[in-house]
Amino acid sequence: MNKSVSNAYAGFAQRLGLQMDDSGGLYGQRGGYAWTIFAPDPRYPYQLLVTTPVHRTAGPLSKEEVRQFKREHKEIFLLHQRQNAISITVRVKGSKGADRLEAAMNALTELLRTQSFRPCCQNCGQELPVEGYFVSGSYMQVCDSCAQTLKQSHNTAQAERAQKSENVVGGIVGSLIGSLLGVLCIILLNQLGYMAALAGIIMAVCTLKGYEILGGKLSNRGIVISIVVMIVMIFVGDRLDWAILVSQQLEMPLPMAFQAVPVLLAEEIIEPAIYVVNLLLLYLFMAVGAVPTIRSSIRNRRFVNLVYRLGHPPVEL
């Protein structure tokens, strides 16, 4: 989290009477309810998820109640209902961000009171005292019993993950399958007249996810292997795309057209500048897709085993 975002969050916490955890999440009691506030996607730090654990005998809000509430409060982008919690999404970028966040929380608090929602544990739903907890990259308000259960289950899961070895061969196969989907997208987008370079994003995401699915996990070694596969397959996909064009224009078999592309480039029948720019755009969009996917994977790997009470992190975040 950069300094400007951190300072903005600290300002939100001070204004709302909440606390700020080292991970960047806000938490605490306000208006008789327990709250957690954080950005689910680090790429969009000013799109905040505001959650409070509540329930009522009559069950969740009706669709009409939700629609009416959103019509009356434009600062609220989305309202989500889960079994033991209600969340709203608020966009807080800009000088009026704190105003929108406070107004949204005040509106939701009033709704909860008038609709007879009572505070509860976000996990079990019982009306017990709760504390804010960081749970594998997310935030929850849970009772002491559920907190202990969450810690135990995560310790067990951590031990199982530690015993699970990475299947490099499976990962390579998965990355190749994913990259073939990227190659297919390069060809299809170009044939449909769209910007084929956008397929670079699909190539990156599918290659990395393919390695993770069949390899069991995306390690640093897996990331390097996937990047190599991406670079090679982007080149192959672009060359195949040109070969299809040559095959159509010169009415020759596709394998022969594929081999003819370097010759046509050397003879400048295919404009080298256009060829290079197109290839570079594919690599650029590949990076656009790969960087956030890799960062997300590293972040998840860092937080996946963490469960702690907010304000008491076991490690420096």
Find how far residue 32's CA is from the centre of its chain.
31
Write down the pLDDT at residue 173. 95
Cα–Cα dist 285/278, whole Å: 11
From residue 148, give the alpha-carbon distance in Å to each of 35, 135, 139, 144, 152: 20, 12, 15, 6, 6
For the chain, the average pLDDT equals 88
Are 118 and 155 in contact, with CB atoms under 8 Å apart?
A: no
Are 226 and 208 in contact, with CB atoms under 8 Å apart?
A: yes
> What is the per-residue pLDDT across 265-313, written as a single tens digit (0 to 9) for each?
898 888 899 999 988 988 998 898 888 888 878 777 767 667 889 988 7
What does pTM read for this prediction? 0.69
* Beta-bridge mates of residue 36: 27, 51
Cα–Cα dist 117/21, whole Å: 27
Find how far residue 97's CA is from the centre of its chain.
22
Find how far residue 124's CA is from the centre of its chain.
26
> What is the per-residue pLDDT across 170-227, written as a single tens digit (0 to 9) for each?
999 999 999 999 888 888 887 777 766 778 888 888 999 999 899 888 888 999 999 9
The confidence band for 124, taking pLDDT boundaries of 50, 70 and 90, is very high
Instruction: Map out the domains of the chain with their CATH numbers.
Output: 3-160 (3.30.1460.10), 168-302 (no CATH)
Q: What angle do CA 228, 272, 245 make, to 5 degrees?
A: 80
Tokens representing residue 133 in the block: 């907890």
Contacts of 273 (CB under 8 A, 6+ apart): none
Mean pLDDT calculated for residue range 110-115: 94
> What is the per-residue pLDDT across 227-254, written as a single tens digit (0 to 9) for each?
999 999 999 998 998 999 899 888 889 9
Helix or strand or coil: residue 316?
coil
Helix or strand or coil: residue 28?
strand
Find how far residue 109's CA is from the centre of its chain.
28
